[in-house]
Amino acid sequence: MRTAEIRRRFLDHFVQRGHTEVASASLILDDPNLLFVNAGMVPFKPYFLGQQTPPYPRATSVQKCIRTGDIEEVGKTTRHGTFFQMNGNFSFGDYFKEGAITNAWELITGSPDAGGLGFDPARIWVTVYHDDDEASQLWQKIAGLPEQRIQRRGMADNFWSMGVPGPCGPCSEIYIDRGAEFGPDGGPVVDEDRFLEIWNLVFMQYERGDGTSKDDYPILGELPAKNIDTGMGLERVAYLLQGVDNLYEIDEIYPVLERAAELAGCQYGKNHTNDVHLRVISDHVRSSLMLIGDGVTPGNEGRGYVLRRLLRRAVRAMRLLGYEDPSLPELLPISRDLMKASYPELGTGFDRISQIAYAEEEAFRRTLSAGTTILDVAVEATKKAGGQQLSGGDAFKLHDTYGFPIDLTLEMASEQGLKVDEDGFRKLMTEQRERARADARAKKTGHADTSLFRAALDEHGETDWLAYSTLETDSKVLALINGTAAVPAAHAGEIVQVILDRTPFYAESGGQNADAGVIEFDGGSAEVLDVQRPLKGLVVHQIRVVDGELTLDADVRAKVDPEWRLGARQAHSGTHVVHAALRQVLGPTALQSGSYNRPGYLRLDFAWKGGLSQQERHDIEDVSNLAVRRDLPVTATYMPLPEARAAGAIALFGETYNPEKVRVVRIGPGQWSIELCGGTHVESSSQIGPLVVTGESSVGSSSRRVEAVTGIEAFHYLAKERDLVSQLTEILKTPRDTVADRISSMVTRLRDAEKELAKMRADAVLSSAGALAANAEDLSGVAYVGTEVPEGTGGGDVRKLAQEVRGRLAADHPGVVAVAGAAGDKASLVVAVTKAGVRSGLSAAELVRSALGGKGGGNADMAQGGGVPADQVRPVLDSLRKLVGEAGGKA
Known binding residues for Zn(2+) are 572, 576, 677, 681
Is 333 exposed, middle or buried, given 0-12, 13-18 or 19+ CB atoms closer than 10 A? middle
Between CA 235 and CA 250 the distance in angstroms is 8
- Give Cβ neighbours of residue 529 (< 8 Å, ≥ 6 apart): 443, 495, 516, 542, 543, 544
What's the chain's length in residues? 891
Pair 551, 498: CB distance under 8 Å: no
Query: Residue 134 corresponds to which amino acid?
Result: E
- Give Cβ neighbours of residue 30 (< 8 Å, ≥ 6 apart): 594, 654
Q: Roughly what angle, to the nearest 10 degrees, separates helices 350-384 and 392-402?
A: 160
User: Which residue ranges are tagged as binding site?
Assistant: 572, 576, 677, 681
Query: What sign has the CA pseudo-torsion 825, 826, 830, 831?
Result: positive
- Give Cβ neighbours of residue 767 (< 8 Å, ≥ 6 apart): none
Query: Residue 256 corresponds to which amino acid?
Result: V
Query: What is the SS3 string spanning 646-670?
Result: HCCCECCCCCCCCCCCEEEEEECCC
Among residues 794, 807, 780, which one has the least CA distance to residue 884? Answer: 780
Between CA 280 and CA 256 the distance in angstroms is 11
Output the CA–CA distances (angstroms, integers) from residue 285 to 129, 308, 363, 403, 838, in the order listed. Answer: 38, 11, 17, 18, 34
Pair 85, 62: CB distance under 8 Å: yes
The C-alpha R_g of the chain, in whole angstroms, comes to: 32
Exposure string of 401-435, with b = 16+ CB inside 10 Å and e = fewer, is ebbbbbebbbebbeeeebebbeebbeebbeeeeee
Is 270 exposed, middle or buried, given 0-12, 13-18 or 19+ CB atoms closer than 10 A? middle
